[in-house]
Structure 1
Amino acid sequence: MSGRTRPPRLFATLATMSLALVAVACKPATQRADEYETLSDRAFAGKDYRHAADMMKEAVALDDSTPRRWLKLGRAREASQIYSGAAAAYQQALDLQPDNVEALQNLAVLAVRGGEYDTAQRYIEPLLLLDPDNQAGLLSSGAVALAKRNFAEVDRLATRIVEVAPQRADGYVLRARMHDMQGDSETAVRILEARAKDDPTNSDLLMQLMALYRKLGQRDGIRATAIRLMPLFPDDPRYAMEAARAYQARGDTKRAQEIIARVRTKHGGSPSVMTAIAEFWRNNAPPALAAGEIAKVAEASRPAVRVAMARTILGMGDPAATLRVLEPLTRTPIAPTNIEAHTLSARALLAAGRPDAAQAKVDEVLAFDGSNPEALIVRARLRLNRKLYREAANDAQVVMADDETNSEATLLLAEIRSREGNQVLAANVYGTARQKFPDDVGVARAEIAWLLGQKRGEEAAQRAASFLQAHRNASARQLFSETCAQTKAAACRAGAQAIAAGDN
C-alpha cells in the first residue's frame, strides 16, 4: 500500500477489535470461568451434555478451587455416560469440600453402579453421618447389602427407605430384589404389583415387574405389564408389540391391529421390528394368510427388511415363497449389499430339496466371501447329506472358531459326529453346547432329542428337569412335558412338582 493511506474507518475497526481482545484477555480468570459455566448451564438445559461438559472443563481449567464447578462437570459427564470422568470430577469437589453431600452421594451411586461395593461404603458412611435420611445413601447402602447377601440389613434398609420416602417406590423395589435373590420371585412380584396400584405410571417399577415376569415365564403378567408400559414409552416398539400380543390374547383383535399399524408406520424400516410383526402374524393367523401378508410387506420394503421377512417365511417352512421374495435381490451379482439375500437363498434351495442349485449358490457366495458363516453352515449341511463327514465338520468348526456365540454351528457339529457314528464325540459337543448356551431352549431341545434317539430316556428327562429347574418358564415347562410324554423316567415325577410350582 505504498503511497496510500488506510481509510479512517478501517483504522477504527482494527482499533475496536484490538481493544476487545485486550479486554477479554484482561478479564480475571474467575470471570472467564463464570462465562464458561453460563455456557455450560445453557447446554445442559438443552440436553447437549457433551458440550456442557466441554464448557465446564474450560471453566475448571480457569478456576479449579470452586466445588460447584466440579459438581457441574460431574453432572454433565454423568449425563454423557462418561462415568469414570464424572467420578473424577465429583472427587475433586469432595477434596475441596469434604462434607459436600452431593459429591458423596454421587460417588456412592457411581461406585455401586460399577460393582465397587467397598469403595461405595467409604462414601456411604460419611454421607449418612451428615444426612441420615439421604435417599441415595440409603439406597446405595441397600445395594451393597444386597450384593453381600446380608438380607437382614437389606430388609432393615428397605423399611427405613419406605419411612423416609413413602411416596417413592425405591424401598419396595429393594425388598422385592431381596426376595428375588432369595429365590422367591413370586413374593417379589406381589410386592411390586401392590405398589404399582398406588404408583401406576412409575416406569422403573413396571420395568422391574416386567423383568420378573419374564424370569418366571408368566406370559399373562408380561402382557399386562406391557399394556401399562406402552403409553409411558410411546416410541418404544418392544412394549407396543408386547401390548399387541396381550390384546390379541384377550380377543381384542381390533386393538391389536391398531397397535401393529402404528408400529409399522413408525418403524417400518427396521428389520428387527418388522420381524417381530411378522412373528405376530405367524402366531395369530392361518399359515397361508400369514405368509401372504409377510410376503406383501416384504415386496414393499427396503432390502434389509425384505431379507428379514424372507427369513421368517423360511422359518414357517415355505422355501418356495422365500425364494420368490428374495428373487429381486438375487438376480443381480453378489455384492456387500445383497450377500445376505444370496446366502439365505442357498439355505432356501437346500430346504426346497434342490441340493445342486444350493451347492451352486453357496459356491458363488463363498467365492465372494470365503468366511461367510451362513454359507459355511449350508455347505456343511450339503456335505453332511453326502456323508462327507470330515469336510462338513471342518466347515462347522471354522464358524465356531470365528464366532463362539453361533449355537447353530455347535449343534451342527454334534449332529455330524452322531451321524458318522461317533456318539462319544457327539456327547462331548452337546455338553459343550450346554455349557456355552445354558439359557438356550433350542440347544436343550436338540440334546434331549439326541438322547431320546439314543434310547437314553432317563438322561433326557434329567436334562429336561434340570433346564426346568434353572428357568421355570413356559418354554422350559413345555420341553419337560414333551420329553416326559416320550419316557417313563423317574426324573419326570420329580419335575412335575416344578411344573406345578411354576404354573400360575
Structure 2
Amino acid sequence: MAALARGDGIAAEADLRAELAKGAPRNQIAPFMGEAQLMQGNLADAHRWLDNEDFAPNVRGQGFRIRGHLAMREGKLGQAEKAYATALQFEPDSADLWVDIGRMRYRSGAQFGAVEASKKAITLGPENPSALLFRAQLVRDSQGMAAALPLFELGLKHSPNNAPLLAGYAATLGELGRAKEMLAALRKLANTNPGNPRLLYLQAVLAARAGDYDLARGLLQRSGDLERQMPAAILLLGIIDLENGNYASAAQGFDRLARLQPENARVQRLLARALKLGGSDRELIARFAGRADTPYIAMLVGRAYEAIGDREKAAGFLNRAQRPFAMTVRDLAPATDLDVAELYGDASGPSTVSLVRGLVAAGNPTQAKARADAFLARYPQSSDAMALDGDASLAMGRPDLATQIYNRAAAVRRPWPLAKRMIYALIEQGREVDAANLLARFVKGEPNNAEACALLARWAYLQGDYTRATMLLDHASLYGAANDPTLVSLRAAIARKAGE
C-alpha cells in the first residue's frame, strides 16, 4: 500500500496484481485496485473494480469510500453522498473519511456542513495531514492567508514531506509576500515530489513576482494543461502577456477568465487595461463605459474616447476619474438579461443569482429580496446563498440586516467582493470605525489585495496618519494599483500636508 500512499497508481496496480496472482481474494483487493485506477484516471476500470463488488468485511469502509471518490470525480454528488454515508457505518472515526465528506458538502453548496466536517476530522485526527490541509483551506477562505498559516505549519510538523501541504503552504507564503520562505518550501516540494503539477505553477508565480516573465511563461508551459484549466494560472499567463507587450493575447485570457469569474474586479481591471494598451478602444468603450465605477476604469474609458476623437464624452469620464477617492459599490451585473433570467427562474443556483441581480438592476429590490429569501430557505447551509440574500437586503436599503447576513456568510467564505459589501454596509449605518477595523483585518489576512490596501490608505489619510497611508499606497502600487489616478491624487494630498 506504500505506492498508494505516495500517489503512484501505476506501481500500486502492479503490486496489487502480484497479490492477486499469489491468491489474494478479489474482494479484498478491489477497493485498493479501484483507487489505483482512479489515480491513473482510468474511470471505466475503476468502475469495474468498485461498482458491483461485495467488499471483504475488513475493507468494506474503504471500498465505499473509494466508490465515493469515483462519484465525486464524475460530478455525481448524490451518489458520492450515499457512498460516504455507507462508508461511515464501517469507519465512523476515520478523519480521512470526514475530510472526504467535508469536500463533498462544500462542492454541493453545503459550506457550513463542510466546516463542521472539517472540525470533526481535526478532532478525530489532530495530526492527520489531510484534515489539517482541509481545515487550513477553509480558514484561508474565511479569515485570510495569515490565519491559515499555523495550520499548514502544524501539518508539516507532523508530515514534513506531504506534497499537498507543501504546495498549499508555499502558495500561502507567496500571497503573504514572504518570497524567501516560499522558495524554501518549493525547493522541498521539488525534492520530495518533483512531478507535482502545482510545483511548476508556483515556481512561475515566484518568477513573475521577481520580474522574470520569460522564465514564468516557460514554467507555465511545462505544466501541461494547467495554464488552460486553472483560473489562477490563466490569470498569471495573462499578466505575463501584458508585461511582455502581448496585449491581444492577454485580453483573450482575461476575457475568458472574466466569463468564468464575472465578479472578479481585478480581472475586469486587467481586461480593460489590456484592451487599452492593445488599441482596442471601441471594444473597451463598448464593454466598460456602462460600468466605469472605479476611477481607474473611468480613466481608461476616458482615454479610449479621446483616442477615437470624442472629447466631450472623454471629459466626463476623465472628470469622474479625478473625483476624491471614496467607497463605491455597484450592483453586481446579472449573467443574463432579466427576461431570460425570469424564464429560467430558480431552476438552478446560477439562474437564481441572475434573477435576483436582474431584479435589483431593474429597480425591484423587494421582489429580489423575496427570491433571495426563498433561495436561502432551500440552501440554508450555503454561504453563497446567504451572501446573495445580504446583497438583496442592501439593495432594499437595509444595511443593518445585510450586515447580520453577511457576517454569517463570512464565517465560511469572505472573498473581497463580500468583504467590500460588508464594509459598505457598515459605512451606510454610520459605523465607520467598525468598517475600518474590518478592512484592516482583511488587509492583514490578504496583504496583496491592492484595492483593499488603497481603501485602508485613504482611511489612514483621513485620520491624519500620513506615514501609514504612504506605506499602504506603496504596497498597493506594488501589487497592481500603480496607475490608479486616485492614488496619485492621494499621494499629492499627503505631500501637501507634509509641505512637500
TM-score (norm: length of structure 1): 0.46
Whose radius of gyration is greater, 1 or 2? 1
